[in-house]
A = this chain, B = another copy of it.
Amino acid sequence: MARIAILGATGYTALELLRILAMHPHAKVVAATTRQDSRPLISAIHPSLTGLYDLRCENLTPEEVGKGCDIAFCCLPHTASMEAVPQLLDAGCRVVDLSADYRLSDPGVYEQWYEHVHTDPTRLTTAVYGLPEIYESRIPGATLVANPGCYTSTSILALAPLLATDLIEPSGIIIDAKSGISGAGRTPKMSNLFSECNESVTAYSIGKHRHTPEIEQVLSDVGRSTVQVAFNPHLMPMDRGIFCSIYPRLRKASSQNELLNVFRSFYAGKPFVRVVDHMPATRDVSHTNFCDITVRFNRDQLVVFAAIDNLIKGASGVAVQNMNLMLGLDQRTGMLPC
């Protein structure tokens, strides 16, 4: 039984981790941290977990955490993560970091988009980008896995097969992404209030969203040339789910069936990607680790559609998938029959 710790246990990604791990046959959460000194029970922070955990959230140092666990999930905000991760690793555990701090391999790009100097730049080259459908072979041996962003995973999974096979132009790719509100986290802000979000659709951070360089880094790697996307995030009046409608330019004529076959080949043996004939919907992947993908032609314009649950495949589900690989388990363990 692997001993698991969760740093920053009060948010939505921690809640989903705790939910999945409660049913996991080979992992047991032994520690959860918070900055509060009152040592609240996990069920006091997440009432839905009542009866599933008899554990308190404690104000532990990363060193204390790292000594007592095999794998630590770091659910801290960016910049806080890069302070904790080195201490966790030094204490001897392995880390799945859900923040953005170790996702970008170039500290200059990090600084440009996050407006913060990276304080642990040398580790950026050894961290493994934790998208198993792309980097599965590197994850089992990793000590530090950078768990991908939610928009990022969806966009990459929807484009990787087309870029890997040179079927589309690497630039001018338009991504119209639609997300539920939980992606904005559990910290109260006016923009996340029910009465601001309900019955409303809007766009935000056009040209400035921090998942952009992450998408481009991985897709450039997959496509072996510089990929550039116009990433346009939107907020939907729902709790969870991301739906991406992606408009790439084909290099030569193709058909829906040909392209679906390209996707099916690329994702053969990948249990969490479902290449489907029907149109995906966020409802179909809600509370699952699946990414559903299809393609359509609108006259000559290719459109790729992909849907995930932003808290599961976009965060905590893929984190457990990474953990499974790090532990030498079937990646489906605890999430799908295997």
A residues neighboring B (CB under 8 Å): 12, 22-23, 47-48, 50-52, 172, 174, 176, 178, 180-182, 184, 186, 188-190, 192-204, 206-207, 228, 230-232, 234, 236-241, 243, 245, 247, 271, 274, 276, 278-288, 290, 292, 296-299, 301, 303, 305, 307, 336-337
A271's nearest neighbour on chain B, judged by CB, is: B51
CA of A202 to CA of B189, assembled, Å: 22
Chain B residues lying within 8 Å of A245, measured Cβ to Cβ, are 176, 203, 232, 234
Known: A47-B278, A178-B178, A193-B193. A230 touches B200 (CB 8 A): no
Pick the 9 closest A-B CB pairs, nearest first.
A200-B283, A188-B188, A202-B281, A230-B301, A48-B284, A207-B298, A201-B243, A181-B194, A176-B176
Q: B239 near A236 (CB under 8 angstroms)?
A: no
Known contacts A52-B337, A174-B247; 16 further A-B pairs (Cβ under 8 A): A12-B195, A47-B292, A48-B286, A50-B284, A51-B271, A176-B247, A178-B234, A181-B194, A182-B195, A192-B194, A193-B193, A195-B239, A199-B282, A200-B241, A202-B281, A207-B296
CA of A50 to CA of B283, assembled, Å: 13
Q: B203 near A48 (CB under 8 angstroms)?
A: no
CA of A221 to CA of B50, assembled, Å: 30
CB distance from A133 to the nearest CB of B (A): 15
Q: B194 near A303 (CB under 8 angstroms)?
A: no
Q: A203 near B305 (CB under 8 angstroms)?
A: yes
Chain B residues lying within 8 Å of A197, measured Cβ to Cβ, are 194
Known: A194-B193, A195-B239, A298-B232. A281 touches B207 (CB 8 A): no
Number of copies: 4
Our pick among B22, B241, B247, B286 for the contact of A247 (Cβ within 8 Å) is B247
Known: A47-B281, A203-B305. A198 touches B238 (CB 8 A): yes
Interface centre among A51, A193, A282, A283 (most CB of B within 10 A): A193
Chain B residues lying within 8 Å of A337, measured Cβ to Cβ, are 22-23, 52
Our pick among B50, B237, B239, B282 for the contact of A276 (Cβ within 8 Å) is B50
A301's nearest neighbour on chain B, judged by CB, is: B230
CA of A188 to CA of B301, assembled, Å: 33
CB distance from A27 to the nearest CB of B (A): 11
